[in-house]
Structure 1
Amino acid sequence: MTLPVDLFISFRSPYSYLALPKTLKMVDDYDVAVNLRPVYPLAVRVPGFFKKTNPQFARYVVLDSSRVAKHENIPFRFPRPDPIVQDMTTLDVAEHQPYIHRLTRLGAAAQLEGRSLAFTSAISRVLWDGSVQGWNEGDHLARAADAAGFDLAAMDEAIATDPDRYEQVIKGNEEAHAASGHWGVPTFVFAGEPFFGQDRIDLLIWRMESKGLTRRRA
Structure 2
Amino acid sequence: MTLEYDLFWSFRSPYSYLVTPRLIELERDYDVHCNVRPVYPIAVRLDGFFKQVNPMWPPYLLKDTARIAEMLGLPYAWPFPDPIVMNFKTGDVPKEQPYIRRLTRLGVAAAEAGKGLSFIREMSGVIFGGVRNWNEGDHLKDAAARAGLDLAELDALIEKDPDHYEGVIAANEAAQKQAGHWGVPLMVFADEPFFGQDRVDHLVWRLEKHGLKRRGA
Please say whether Structure 1 and Structure 2 have the same fold, judged by a TM-score greater than 0.5. Answer: yes
* Length, aligned pairs only: 217
Q: Is residue 115–residue 148 contact of structure 2 (8 Å, CA) maintained in 1?
A: no
Question: Which stretch shifts more, 90-99 or 6-15?
Answer: 90-99
Letter in structure 2 aligned against 1:200: R
Per the TM alignment, residue 81 of structure 1 is displaced from its structure 2 partner at its CA by 0.2
Per the TM alignment, residue 184 of structure 1 is displaced from its structure 2 partner at its CA by 0.4
For residues 121 and 19 of structure 2, the distance between their equivalents in structure 1, rounded to whole angstroms, comes to 10
Superposed, which structure 2 residues align to 1:3-42 within 5 Å? Answer: 3-42=3-42
Q: Secondary structure at the match of 1:16?
A: helix
User: What is the alpha-carbon root mean square deviation over aligned residues?
Assistant: 1.0
- Aligned counterpart, 1:138: 137
- Aligned counterpart, 2:120: 120
Identity, % of aligned positions:
56
1:54-109, Cα deviation, whole Å (9 max, x unpaired): 12221211111111111111111111100000111111112210000000000011
- Aligned counterpart, 1:186: 185
1:88-141, Cα deviation, whole Å (9 max, x unpaired): 1111112210000000000011122222111111111110111x2200001110
For residues 161 and 209 of structure 1, the distance between their equivalents in structure 2, rounded to whole angstroms, comes to 42
- Aligned counterpart, 2:172: 173
Letter in structure 2 aligned against 1:183: W
For residues 124 and 189 of structure 2, the distance between their equivalents in structure 1, rounded to whole angstroms, comes to 23
- Aligned counterpart, 2:151: 152
1:8-49, Cα deviation, whole Å (9 max, x unpaired): 010000000000111111111111000111000011011111
- Aligned counterpart, 2:89: 89
Q: Secondary structure at the match of 1:145?
A: helix
Letter in structure 2 aligned against 1:109: A
For residues 146 and 11 of structure 1, the distance between their equivalents in structure 2, rounded to whole angstroms, comes to 18
TM-score (norm 1): 0.97
Moved over 4 A (4+): none
Unaligned 5+ segments in structure 2 are: none
Per the TM alignment, residue 207 of structure 1 is displaced from its structure 2 partner at its CA by 0.7
Q: Secondary structure at the match of 1:216?
A: coil
1:52 aligned onto 2:49: no
TM-score (norm 2): 0.97
Q: Is residue 35–residue 114 contact of structure 1 (8 Å, CA) maintained in 2?
A: no
1:136-164, Cα deviation, whole Å (9 max, x unpaired): 00111001101211110111111112110
For residues 26 and 89 of structure 1, the distance between their equivalents in structure 2, rounded to whole angstroms, comes to 40
Letter in structure 2 aligned against 1:205: V
